[in-house]
């Protein structure tokens, strides 16, 4: 067994497993006690990560050999256990990366230190997939070069690494493989978002219940923003939609189960922290998703682009360009330079403290449905896509094609359970990708039909069908991979024509 497993999978391994409901008040109470100890022992140099994980800087106590870092760690562990009866693991290193990796070696219920003399050997033997921020997908791509450990990775030409996983991740990974981590130490980092979400025990029988749930989430978000004296400009809605074909073996299972994660994001009418304005925008995004209430297994609302006390200020950035389909199948061809830094910067002892509990977020078990490429595809609202008919049709087609291509790409790389592979085939993913994008085509088709009759309807649908011939998905090299998607797209357009024209 391991942290983050599905309950059904855990029960298969351990039939006598006893499950208990969440006790959020108890978690909060214990977390506060733990943080009080960390804050006191580090003289305020404590950076929280979650309710049971934090980084603390104890270099002030250990400077000039005044105290031994391992002795400090053991004292912290002793105090936490006496106060809360919870065990904890502590990893010690000269930077955040090494401290986090050392924590893995410390589990369960120990302290482990990577000394400066041991750093090179320690990081050399570390598996690539153990580096924070590097998932199984990226690790699998690098195995074609025979690179499984950091030491083996450094033997691979940097350009090959960039071609396989992209320049940005390659830059971070190559630095990490040398034990270099320039993560800034900020006890109170600037806030980039304020949000609230829940995906446990969420069941909505009707739309009205879902609306009320969204209003409660918005109310919580709004109150947090008002307490922080900040306003936001962009709203994000996240929805867990149950996959009907996959049912839990346990009738009393209250988790979200196997879900597709849907997101929508839009610019609000004005910079605000007002409950009513945010609720109005959130409900509009929810209606845009058109999800049956009974399939909802979780909802989340967050506000970004903040201004005010404690908000991160960042210059306007260009919209992240999604990779082309050919890049997805062969690896991205980014051109960003990798800056190698071999300087021996002065570093401090950083300890990562983690109480024994969840090692990974449960979301990490759903890499296929929660991949960042997938959730970023449909951020544009209907109004934004409707601004230009030709462009919005092309955008809808490209977004759907990328969604399908990425899912197909991940199906071949992720170590999915047999249940997941059998239930969700390439044809099924093609239909799912097309279904959302086809709503854009349907909207244009209805307007053209009302304005110009069958001629207008045919014009819209002919343009949409023509994309299949012109798009790179049908280039000779990728035509076999795109067959399921093209079939699903054309079938969906036929359905749109039948519905709009009345048969």
Digitized pLDDT (tens) for each residue of the chain, 503 residues in all: 666 677 777 888 888 888 777 787 888 889 999 999 999 999 888 988 888 899 999 988 898 888 999 999 999 999 999 999 999 999 999 999 999 999 999 998 999 999 999 999 999 999 998 898 887 778 888 888 888 999 999 999 998 888 888 888 899 899 999 999 887 777 777 788 999 998 888 899 899 999 999 999 999 999 999 998 999 999 999 999 987 765 554 444 567 777 888 889 999 999 999 999 999 999 999 999 899 999 999 999 999 999 886 565 444 433 334 344 344 333 333 433 333 333 333 334 556 555 543 333 333 323 333 333 332 333 333 344 344 677 777 777 877 777 777 666 666 655 555 545 555 566 777 777 777 677 778 877 887 787 778 888 888 888 888 777 555 444 444 444 567 778 888 888 888 888 888 76
Domain residue ranges of the chain, discontinuous segments joined by +: 7-184+348-362, 193-307, 371-501
The pTM assigned to this predicted structure is 0.50
**CATH number of the structural domain 7-184+348-362:** 3.30.70.270
pLDDT of res. 473:
45
Ramachandran angles phi, psi of 340, nearest 5°:
-95, 135
Output the CA angle 152-141-331, nearest 5 degrees.
Answer: 125
142/128 Cα distance (integer angstroms): 9
Return the pLDDT at 398. Answer: 76
The answer for residues whose C-beta is within 8 angstroms of residue 302's C-beta and 6 or more apart is 193, 194, 195, 196, 197, 221, 235, 236, 238
CATH number attached to the domain at 193-307 = 3.30.1490.100
Residue 78: the pLDDT is: 96
**Measured between alpha carbons, how far is residue 337 from residues 133, 161, 167, 273, 345 in Å?**
20, 12, 7, 40, 22
What's the order of all strands across the beta sheet hosting 296-308? 193-198, 296-308, 230-242, 259-272
Please identify which residue in the block is written with the tokens 């970004």: 304
Please state the separation of Cα 441 from the chain's center in Å. Answer: 29
């Amino acid at each position: 067994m391991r942290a983050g497993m599905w309950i059904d999978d855990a029960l298969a391994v351990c039939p006598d497993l006893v499950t208990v409901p969440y006790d959020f008040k108890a978690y909060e109470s214990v977390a506060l006690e733990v943080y009080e100890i960390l804050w006191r022992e580090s003289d305020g140099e404590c950076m929280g990560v979650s309710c049971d994980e934090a980084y603390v800087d104890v270099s002030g106590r250990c400077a000039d050999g005044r105290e031994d870092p391992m002795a400090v760690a053991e004292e912290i562990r002793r105090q936490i256990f006496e106060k809360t009866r919870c065990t904890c693991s502590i990893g010690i290193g000269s930077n955040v990366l090494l401290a986090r990796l050392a924590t893995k070696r410390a589990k369960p219920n120990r302290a482990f230190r990577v000394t400066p003399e041991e750093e090179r050997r320690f990081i050399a033997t570390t598996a690539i997939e153990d580096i924070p921020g590097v998932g199984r997908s990226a690790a699998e791509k690098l195995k074609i070069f025979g690179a499984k450990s950091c030491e083996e990775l450094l033997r691979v030409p940097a350009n090959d690494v960039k071609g396989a996983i992209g320049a940005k991740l390659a830059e971070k990974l190559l630095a990490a493989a040398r034990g270099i981590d320039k993560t800034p130490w900020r006890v109170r980092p600037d806030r980039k978002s304020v949000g609230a979400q829940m995906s446990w025990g969420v069941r909505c029988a009707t739309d009205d219940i879902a609306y009320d749930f969204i209003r409660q989430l918005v109310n919580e978000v709004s109150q947090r923003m008002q307490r922080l004296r900040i306003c936001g400009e962009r709203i994000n809605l996240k929805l867990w939609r149950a996959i009907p074909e996959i049912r839990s073996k346990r009738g009393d299972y209250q988790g979200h189960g196997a879900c597709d994660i849907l997101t929508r994001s839009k610019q609000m009418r004005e910079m605000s922290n007002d409950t009513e304005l945010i609720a109005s925008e959130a409900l509009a995004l929810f209606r845009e998703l058109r999800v049956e209430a009974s399939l909802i297994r979780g909802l989340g609302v967050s506000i970004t682009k903040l201004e005010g006390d404690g908000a991160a200020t960042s210059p306007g950035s260009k919209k992240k360009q999604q990779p082309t389909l050919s890049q997805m199948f062969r690896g991205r061809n980014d051109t960003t330079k990798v800056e190698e830094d071999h300087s021996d910067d002065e570093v401090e002892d950083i300890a990562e403290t983690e109480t024994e509990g969840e090692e990974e977020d449960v979301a990490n078990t759903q890499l296929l449905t929660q991949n960042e490429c997938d959730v970023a595809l449909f951020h544009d609202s209907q109004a934004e896509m409707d601004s230009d008919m030709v462009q919005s049709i092309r955008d809808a087609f490209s977004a759907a094609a990328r969604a399908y291509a990425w899912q197909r790409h991940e199906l071949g790389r992720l170590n999915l359970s047999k249940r997941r592979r059998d239930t969700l085939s390439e044809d099924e993913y093609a239909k799912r990708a097309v279904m959302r994008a086809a709503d854009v085509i349907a909207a244009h088709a209805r307007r053209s039909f009302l304005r110009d009759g069958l001629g207008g309807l045919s014009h819209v649908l002919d343009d949409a069908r023509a994309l299949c011939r012109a798009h790179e998905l049908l280039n000779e090299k990728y035509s076999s991979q795109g067959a399921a998607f093209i079939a699903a797209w054309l079938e969906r357009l036929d359905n749109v024509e039948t519905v709009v024209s009345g048969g």
